[in-house]
Structure 1
Amino acid sequence: VLSLCLYLKYNSIFLSVLFFFQAMYSTNRGTVGGFFLAGRSMVWWPIGASLFASNIGSGHFVGIAGTAAAGGIAIGGYEWNALIFVVVLGWLFVPIYIKAGVVTMPEYLRKRFGGKRIQVYLSVLSLILYIFTKISADIFSGAVFIQLAIGLNLYVAIIILLAITALYTITGGLAAVIYTDTLQTFIMVVGSFILMGFAFAEVGDYDTFMKKYMEAIPSNISYGNITIDPECYTPRKDAFHIFRDPVSGDLPWPGLIFGLSILAMWYWCTDQVIVQRCLSGKNMSHVKAGCIMCGYLKLLPMFIIVMPGMISRILYTDVVACVVPEVCQKYCGTTVGCTNIAYPKMVVELMPNGLRGLMLSVMLASLMSSLTSIFNSASTLFTMDIYTKIRSHPSEKELMLAGRAFMLLLIGISIAWVPVVQSAQSGQLFDYIQSVTSYLGPPIAAVFLLAVFCKRVNEQGAFWGLMVGLLTGLSRMIAEFAYGTGNCVTPSNCPFVICGIHYLYFAIILFGVSSIVILAVSFMTKPIPDVHLYRLCWSLRNSKEERIDLDADEQDKADQKDEESVNEENEEEPGCFKKAYNWFCGLDQQKGPKLSKEEEEALKKKLTDTSEVPLWRNVVNINGIILLTVAVFCHAFFA
């Protein structure tokens, strides 16, 4: 077994290199479609693996396992809720995005509503969310693991990881990201299953596991003359139930069903990182099959991350479940709790050297997987939605360079943000991420949902819905951070009217307010004529009429400028060094004869085609129904 694990560990590096160069050779990275959408040639299994790997980052291994150690299995409901929304993504949203012929989500809204302000607003907001939640959480989580596992300096480890990550993202484009995601998914699943086996071997069967978890109380529960409230260190009575009390529950069941569904719709159906993988599929059947594969993989985290996190509390109770500030400071460097180290602690203490190395590879793989996904998608947003507003008519080569340069800027910001993330090491990492998305994500979800399914919604309604939602969410977020979230030992003094509403309930309220504003303003202003909406909303998805895009004038100007820039290109043959540099960075544009109007129309039709072979359409539809049935069963079984 040890030899096999060492083989997997070292050969995974070799295979990653092979995948990387295969991606560089097999896709045209010198075009926007090739770099950002992998030439729309991906088959179902890399799509499914990449969707899973993009979602399951080191934040899951550290944050979710830590939350499970503190509160039980309810956090697994976050994973199983995704089983429903990957089906919604593949069957309802992606067909509209493909028919619209878009590369980014803000670009879809520009075609749907016209104007530039919504597109720029969403692009900037998405980049802010990427930097201050996704990137910071992944870097922090990876650093927690690396520090505990090998004692490497925090900043040295982060810089090395970011450098490696940036190398194959900047040079390889989306194809390299998807291929490496596929391999890393295999590494993550295998390594996590092995650790789960070791964990259950220590505690026994499931009944014994439940009994021991409820008895996992730390020995040190007082300091000085202060005795800590038993609620702070005693396992919850509902630890093995997903659905919890709507008032006193840490994850109340109405919030888990409705509030979480809003956040899941924002993440799975409108987020650039996720949707971009689906847009790379060679046809709709492959997209749907990839979503189904991701759904089945999402069944696993409950067993390979959540339960091992709870077992870590059983095995290392005084460390993982510590409540005395001085004791926690000694064990994990923070005074408010050490649940974040639940998963890495078990890896370091429980596994032999060879397997420990494999699990380190798993963590590094998940960290790099998430970061590459975010870097590539953030670069796409900046290049296509923001840079083109700064430089109105850039050449194809300039767009490629701008995308790579922005990735370097993201890396710099990420490293600069590390001290802030480190100071926020409070044992509330996962709650921090979810609360921020609850305050900023619901208005976006409302706009996309109504844009696709209600053709009466117009630009004014969408914009003011986003503005009202943003101000409402920011007011709650700023107030909560100003007062501090506190913890069980030292509760926050934030007024109940501001902070007392659970963030999942707040997501429901914010979604409702945003939707009402969108609909009210839209019905009080002029509707968008159908000629601008063909194949952009659900009721007109099968229209055959020619659509006149609301941004058609702007697109015509861009096409004219592209023609001029091509004519102005220096035709001088580059030297060998320049050729090598251009190939490595994907800037060799491989010029061929210019396509005629008929050929351009044929290519556009191919890229916006959502037709399916009847046999495979039935196969994926049946699997979609099975996946939804499994989701309902899992929720009911652990309710």
Structure 2
Amino acid sequence: MLSQLETIDVVVLVLMLAIMPTAGIIIALRKKTAEDYFLAGRSIRWWAVAGSVFGTNISSFHLIGMLGIGYSIGFVQAHYEIVFPAILLLCFVFLSSYRRLDVFTLSQYLEVRYNDKARLLYTILLILIILVQLVGSFYVGSITLQWLFGGTSFAMSYPAGLLLIGLITCSYTIWGGMESIVVTDTIQTVMMLAAGTAVAYFTLSQPEIGGFMGLLDLDAAQPREVQKMHLYLPSNHPNLPWTGIFTGLLLQHCFNFSTNQFLVQRVLAANSDHDARRGVIASGFLKLTIPFFSISAGVAAFYLFRARFGTIDFNSDNAFLKLVETVIPPGTGLVGMILAGLTAATFSSVDSMMNAATTLLTVDVYQKYVNPGASDRQIVRFGRLMIVVMVVASIALALYTYTPDRTNNFMLKVSAQLSYFTPGIMVAFFVGVLWRGASARAAVTAMAMAPFYGLLAEFIYDNFLGTSPAVAAVFGQKLNFMHRVFLTFVLSLTTLVALSRTLFPNQNLAGFERLRVSLNAGQLARAVGLFLVVQAVFVGLVFWGGFAPKSLAPWAALVTLGLFLLPNQAVNEPAAAGPDETGTKPSLSLRGDLRWAGALTAGSVGILYYFA
């Protein structure tokens, strides 16, 4: 519990929190067409795309949870923020197709590529995924508010926290739609970064730590088996095995950034392809900051608490609050700013998920099946009603299906729960955009079977394979959810390809021809192949050449950047489509965006080697 907030903290907290609904309500006063309400009139600039994508992707649950995982496990959690493969896939494979079709939802994209059954199944699955995440966000958000404000004049009960989150997010999402959400998400991003940076600065500045480099030296002085500032854990690690990181977690990143409605909706709402690409790439840079102010602060907290208090045995997710009490100077307003940032983070994901769910329900259910001739006014009115329904349902489920208790590393547990449905969705999108032979019936079957494949893989491994000491020594006694995601993806992929080649050949070639991608399957394979060859050379230098990964990090980053600067036919390919919305030839904007994507990839690769 925090001690009683000082007056300056209360003032800072109230002022900062008042900014969000005020800005959202001002935007909401404008008259809204359906496109304005669900996609902000497709007018969002790149910086707003970046802020909204980041705000949507990060919540207080992530910031607190990541610091807790840094405290209990280590810097390996940074892999959740190294998402450059997923960003490249969205920007240079899917983005031009999504925006060219001028759709509101990704389910509409699936209808063009496959059929209306694929569209409906995606809608059902995404509503389920979003509802689970909404319930989890309300639950964790309310617990966080209880936890943050306990012992202060703002102390509240668990139900009161749920109600507060619902009321504040509804205050601007119901009336303002996507435009209000984008504006508030951008504000929330600034507040989150300010809060996280303040905690990291004061933590790393403690004399027991001596700055970030001091943290690295402190960690390096420990026996190798207990060091925390490394990115790779054994393949049998129960939470974050390196084999799972480069398979299942990578696929989960691709789902979130390429085929997830509530994140990709920002791309659909961008002013141009160029704004969409640059905004998503910028969000990737923002995500790369999280390991250095949240996860590293968690590692520093481990050493700081050990030095000052001896051995502390408590829930790792409580490390954040203990850190605020320990390192933040009182009477400066910083505690109020940090609490405001975390409270803002609580709202940032909830409002985005509500908007995405209501978009799917309105466009794919109401407009498609209930009232095909609905006017803009009717569509917007139904969307507003669905926000109320989703909020009420989420609060009710948060009250009756969760208890106000938390367990260690809650973030990892929620990630595992949400990953049963995603592999089949990824297969339908990935294969559909790259292979003309993928058929509708095969895609629907693959999506529908994915959860059962996941449960089957877990049952077989946990009850048979995992009982073998030889297998358990490599992959653990229980099947890690990242490994399960990869196995499910392979089984779903096999299903789609096999059925498309045998029982259900593709009858909708026109659907494939309507899709236009920046990289086709051959170009994508060559680009990925070249990248892997380069990395194989550097990995070989580590394992067989005796080089320290840290010494190779800058060279690996530079060579990786060079790959993006080479003349590339794929960059010139879309030029025939003519100028984009800004009047710039797509080939020129693509080339510029490719350089920024190269910088993001190079920075990420450098991190992967430096902290090996």
Q: TM-score range by the shorter chain?
A: 0.7 to 0.9
Residue identity matched to 1:126: L
Deviations 1:21-43 (A, max 9, x none): 452356x52x2211111000111
Among 449, 470, 479, the alignment partner of 1:468 is: 449
Residue identity matched to 1:416: A
Shift of 1:616: 3.8
1:144-223 equivalences in 2 (<5 Å): 144-151=143-150, 152-202=156-206, 203-206=209-212, 208-209=214-215
- 1:421–1:348 distance in 2 versus 1, CA, 3 Å: farther
Shift of 1:158: 2.0
**Per the alignment, in what secondary structure is the counterpart of residue 533 of structure 1?**
helix
Shift of 1:455: 1.4
Aligned to 1:629: 602
Shift of 1:458: 0.9
- Structure 1 contact 20–180 (Cα < 8 Å) conserved: yes
Structure 2 distance, partners of 1:392, 1:294, is 37
Structure 1 distance, partners of 2:21, 2:485, is 42
Deviations 1:224-248 (A, max 9, x none): xxxxxxxxxx996252211222234
1:517 aligns with 2:495: yes
Shift of 1:69: 1.2
Structure 2 distance, partners of 1:86, 1:497, is 29
Structure 2 distance, partners of 1:607, 1:388, is 29
Residue identity matched to 1:57: S
Residue identity matched to 1:399: I
Aligned to 2:52: 50
**Per the alignment, in what secondary structure is the counterpart of residue 268 of structure 1?**
helix
Structure 1 distance, partners of 2:36, 2:68, is 39
Deviations 1:578-604 (A, max 9, x none): xxxxxxxxxxxxxxxxxxxxxxxxxxx
Aligned to 2:480: 502
1:29-178 equivalences in 2 (<5 Å): 29=32, 31-80=33-82, 82-115=83-116, 117-132=117-132, 134-151=133-150, 152-178=156-182
- Structure 2 contact 235–475 (Cα < 8 Å) conserved: no
Aligned to 1:425: 406
Structure 2 distance, partners of 1:538, 1:616, is 15
- 1:518–1:242 distance in 2 versus 1, CA, 3 Å: same
- 1:441–1:235 distance in 2 versus 1, CA, 3 Å: farther
Gaps of 5+ in 2: 1-5, 151-155, 464-471, 521-577
- 1:394–1:610 distance in 2 versus 1, CA, 3 Å: farther
- 1:497–1:288 distance in 2 versus 1, CA, 3 Å: closer
1:344 aligns with 2:315: no
How many residues are paired up? 528
Structure 1 distance, partners of 2:580, 2:405, is 45
Aligned to 2:394: 414
Structure 2 distance, partners of 1:320, 1:403, is 54
Aligned to 2:383: 403
**Per the alignment, in what secondary structure is the counterpart of residue 239 of structure 1?**
coil
- Structure 1 contact 72–236 (Cα < 8 Å) conserved: no
Structure 2 distance, partners of 1:437, 1:615, is 39
Structure 2 distance, partners of 1:392, 1:74, is 49
Aligned to 2:435: 454
**Per the alignment, in what secondary structure is the counterpart of residue 299 of structure 1?**
helix
Structure 2 distance, partners of 1:94, 1:246, is 34
Deviations 1:98-148 (A, max 9, x none): 112211111111111113x2222221221211122x223322332333222
1:265 aligns with 2:238: no
**Per the alignment, in what secondary structure is the counterpart of residue 300 of structure 1?**
helix
**Per the alignment, in what secondary structure is the counterpart of residue 439 of structure 1?**
coil
Gaps of 5+ in 1: 217-233, 329-337, 483-493, 542-604
Aligned to 1:576: none
1:287 aligns with 2:276: yes
Structure 2 distance, partners of 1:32, 1:479, is 48
Q: Which moved more, 1:140-149 or 1:56-65?
A: 140-149
Residue identity matched to 1:534: E
Structure 1 distance, partners of 2:450, 2:270, is 33
- 1:371–1:480 distance in 2 versus 1, CA, 3 Å: farther
1:207-606 equivalences in 2 (<5 Å): 208-209=214-215, 237-248=226-237, 250-316=239-305, 338-351=315-328, 352-353=330-331, 354-388=333-367, 390-393=369-372, 395-396=374-375, 397-419=377-399, 420-422=401-403, 425-475=406-456, 500-524=478-502, 525-536=504-515, 538=517
- 1:499–1:434 distance in 2 versus 1, CA, 3 Å: farther
- Structure 1 contact 479–498 (Cα < 8 Å) conserved: no
Shift of 1:86: 1.9
* TM-score, scaled to structure 2: 0.79
- Structure 2 contact 188–348 (Cα < 8 Å) conserved: yes
Deviations 1:171-218 (A, max 9, x none): 1000000011111111111221111111112232345535767999xx
**Per the alignment, in what secondary structure is the counterpart of residue 226 of structure 2?**
coil
- Structure 2 contact 271–581 (Cα < 8 Å) conserved: no
Shift of 1:509: 0.7
- Structure 1 contact 58–363 (Cα < 8 Å) conserved: yes
- 1:385–1:348 distance in 2 versus 1, CA, 3 Å: farther
Shift of 1:499: 6.8
Structure 1 distance, partners of 2:598, 2:225, is 35
Shift of 1:91: 2.0
- 1:33–1:374 distance in 2 versus 1, CA, 3 Å: same
RMSD (CA atoms): 3.4
Structure 2 distance, partners of 1:95, 1:72, is 38
- 1:392–1:146 distance in 2 versus 1, CA, 3 Å: closer
- 1:614–1:608 distance in 2 versus 1, CA, 3 Å: closer
- Structure 2 contact 17–344 (Cα < 8 Å) conserved: no
Aligned to 1:333: none
**Per the alignment, in what secondary structure is the counterpart of residue 102 of structure 1?**
coil
- Structure 2 contact 433–512 (Cα < 8 Å) conserved: no
Shift of 1:48: 0.5
Shift of 1:155: 1.5
Structure 2 distance, partners of 1:257, 1:303, is 21
Structure 2 distance, partners of 1:57, 1:235, is 32
Shift of 1:474: 4.3
**Per the alignment, in what secondary structure is the counterpart of residue 507 of structure 2?**
coil
Aligned to 1:229: none
Aligned to 1:599: none
- Structure 1 contact 284–610 (Cα < 8 Å) conserved: no
- 1:440–1:235 distance in 2 versus 1, CA, 3 Å: farther
- 1:423–1:16 distance in 2 versus 1, CA, 3 Å: closer
- 1:5–1:636 distance in 2 versus 1, CA, 3 Å: farther
- Structure 2 contact 93–519 (Cα < 8 Å) conserved: no
